[in-house]
Amino acid sequence: MKRREMIFRALQTGALLTLANPVQLFADKNSKGIFPKGTGNPLRFPPVFNNGGTMALGTANVNVWPGQNTETLSINGSYPGPSVVIEKGSTFTANFVNNYTEPATIHWHGLNVPELMDGHPKDSIPPGGNYTYTFPVLNRAGTYFYHSHADMLTAEHVYKGFAGFFIVDDPAEIGLGLPRGNFDIPLCIQDRRSVNIPQFTYNPFMLDIMHGFLGDAPLINGTPDAYFDLSRTLYRFRLLNGSNARIYKIAFSDNRPFHIIATDGGLKDEAVQVTSFFYHRGEN
């Protein structure tokens, strides 16, 4: 089975974090294997959301592949959407404005919120409408995310870019001395179909509906062929499988061990040392 490899080049350590797809359903005409040094695109990071501000949903042209415009469905013109970074116990507020042509809601994945704030499909906001999402952040520190949750439209909306990080901090975690700031790196992993580059065309056939809509072109934070220069120190990577259906095998190319310290619900009781793991997508 051919492995499609990527991405994080640690120039000083020579390490590569690779994503290898355990299944291959599409010929990959764009596969280049490991990217030689000096090629690829610098890893992008979504902007941080200003708590209390507006989250405006609409189409926006984004340079995903160099020199080419992708029409995305994005929040405030950003793909992936802006990252929420907030402390447990504070109140999150976002004024959602639906400037798109279809109904939409925001579901706060993994977060414990009141029913009317949960972005249930029945509470979709019509085109031109708006809604204020506001709730106290009750969850402990962890990496959560938000995404579209409109009836029958969720998969397409997410594929077109409507999703983002929701990162919760709390004093207990801060007290552990884990890597923070520039050493705390969010990585949203998604796959798109190279046959449609540069567009995020969502056109599932019967098999896709049965097995899930899979792409063959991996994007990290919306970056193809991404690289990221590291310092020789400890990093925390916050992985989010924002793909519609794909499962990834996560490993370093030299099989060096690393530690899993948290899952969907926050920190584990103990770190687990591994050399790889399979990463399933988040459930909607």
Please pick, from the candidates 88, 109, 193, 281, the single residue that binds Cu ion as defined by CB under 5 A.
Answer: 109
- Residue 225: C-alpha distances to residues 18, 152, 191, 272 (Å): 11, 31, 12, 29
CB of 37 to Cu ion, least distance (A): 37
CA dihedral 20, 252, 110, 81 (to 10 degrees): -80
Residues 267/173, Cβ–Cβ less than 8 Å: yes
Binding part of the chain for Cu ion, among 15-23, 108-116, 130-138, 200-208 by CB under 5 A, reads 108-116
> Of the ranges 43-51, 109-117, 246-254, 268-276, which one interacts with Cu ion (CB under 5 A)?
109-117
How many residues bind to Cu ion according to rule CB under 5 A?
2
Tokens 């909306």 -> residue:
157
Please identify, using beta-carbon distances, which residue of 125 and 158 lies nearer to Cu ion.
Answer: 158
- Among all residues, whose Cβ is closest to Cu ion? 109
DSSP element (H, E) containing 159: helix 154-159
104-112, 168-176, 205-213, 272-280 -> range binding Cu ion (CB under 5 A)? 104-112
SS3 248: strand
3-state helix/strand/coil string of 190-228: EEECHHHCCCCCCCCCHHHHHHCCCCCEEEECCEECEEC
Shortest reach from residue 283's CB to Cu ion, in Å: 6
Residues of this chain, 245-284, that bind Cu ion according to CB under 5 A: 284
To Cu ion, the closest distance from the beta carbon of 110 in angstroms equals 7
Binding site for Cu ion (CB under 5 A): 109, 284
